Amino acid sequence: MKKTIIWGTAIIITIFILVGIAYFLSDDETPTYSTYEVSKDDPLILMGKAMPEEIKNYNYHAHLGTINEILVGDGDEVIKGDEVVSYNTGNSDLKKYLDEDDGNTDSDNDDLLEEFDTQIEESTLASFDGHIVYQSNLDNVENGETILQILSNNTQIRAVVSEVNLEKIESGDTVNIIKDDENEVTGEVNNVSELPVATNQENIGEQFDAQPSSFNGATLPHDSEVGLPESSNPHFEGLDLIEDIEESSEYEVIIDNINSPLRAGMTVEIEVPIETISLPSNVLIEENQVFILNDDGTVKKQEIDVESKGNTHTLNDGLNEGETLIMNPHHNLEDGDYVEVNND
């Protein structure tokens, strides 16, 4: 019985000794670690459409008179101020109105003429440098019908960015524009909208081409139609009631100063370089320290300035791009220790 107890005790002691030896031997082995290279965050990728900076439709406005001639044709280039449409204003509604004995003062008539001249200028002169993409033949043209369209020679890209990425882009940022070919195209963020893009455009009334029936309060004949030509590039934005509070808002991004021609309507990919550096949680020790891998295989413990929000850790200072960090460092890893790197 005693022999059994002695043998049992000896076996237990032997097991403890072997386990202890294995622990110390394993602790002396050179640890193997995976690593993480410090680099800037991946660029923000947006999708956008190329559009002319400005589009202007010239409509026929009968109250200005009759059209003598359209002075340009499809494909013609125009410069701001060029005359593109000629009106015969001698038979305009205003001319007929002023010829009547209406009792208006000279001051009233001067105001009417000034406003009329403004409308003629808007209806007959090119408002910007561009080219003609549509010209009516004037056969049976009706009041309010589009007779001419000018597209700006300058291109812009319209895109949207989600509220999640809104802080990653701002006016003045230089962006890369990816097309099917290999040409390097760049642009500049002109504006990021303050209000989210309207998700529902229904019931938004037409704001342009309104037809008031008077000049500065002076009533014109009942059947007259007086109004400014259709505004160039009409743009409606509005906020609808949010039916789903969990739906992420999107904001319009305008990109211009594009260094290569883009055809209107082209879909392009926009690459917004990100200057921030984010670190994974498993390289951090005590929230603001890391181990840097030196060229000789040893490690250096480094204190860093990092801003943490949940699982996002943004580096402010303390590391350089290209430095290699130890992932999941062992609790007893110290400055100067030699480590092996897992290259898998």
Which CATH number goes with the domain that contains 304? 2.40.420.20
Do 271 and 183 belong together in one domain? yes
In a domain, 114, yes or no: yes
Q: Is the per-residue pLDDT at 217 higher than 50? A: no
Do 227 and 100 belong together in one domain? yes
3-state secondary structure at position 30: coil
Which domain does 141 fall in, by range? 54-153+208-233
Do 179 and 263 belong together in one domain? yes
Do 147 and 196 belong together in one domain? no
Q: What is the mean pLDDT of residues 113-128?
A: 89
Scanning 100-174, the segments in alpha helix (DSSP H) are 106-124
Q: Report the DSSP beta bridge partners of residue 309.
A: 312
Is this structure's pTM higher than 0.75? no
Q: What is the mean pLDDT of residues 313-328?
A: 93
Do 281 and 320 belong together in one domain? yes
Q: What's the whole-number average pLDDT of the chain?
A: 79
Q: Considering Cα of 87, then 89, then 91, then 97, what sign does the dihedral take?
A: positive
Euclidean distance between CA atoms 43 and 23, whole angstroms = 46
Task: Give the pLDDT of residue 111.
Answer: 78
Highest mean pLDDT among 13-17, 46-50, 111-115: 46-50
Do 308 and 319 belong together in one domain? yes
Q: What is the mean pLDDT of residues 310-314?
A: 85
Number of compact structural domains in the chain:
4
Task: Give the pLDDT of residue 198.
Answer: 67
More confident residue, 174 or 234: 174
Do 283 and 317 belong together in one domain? yes
Euclidean distance between CA atoms 44 and 187, whole angstroms = 15
The CATH number given to whatever domain includes residue 91 is 2.40.50.100
Do 103 and 143 belong together in one domain? yes
Beta carbons within 8 Å of 248's beta carbon, 6+ residues apart:
162, 163, 164
Pairing of strands 185-196, 174-178: antiparallel
| Per-position b or e across 219-238, b if 16+ CB within 10 A of its CB | ebeeebbbbbbbebeeeeee
In a domain, 35, yes or no: no
Do 66 and 16 belong together in one domain? no
pLDDT per position as a tens digit, 25-48: 555 556 789 999 999 999 999 999
pLDDT per position as a tens digit, 219-269: 333 333 333 344 344 444 444 445 556 678 899 999 999 998 888 889 999
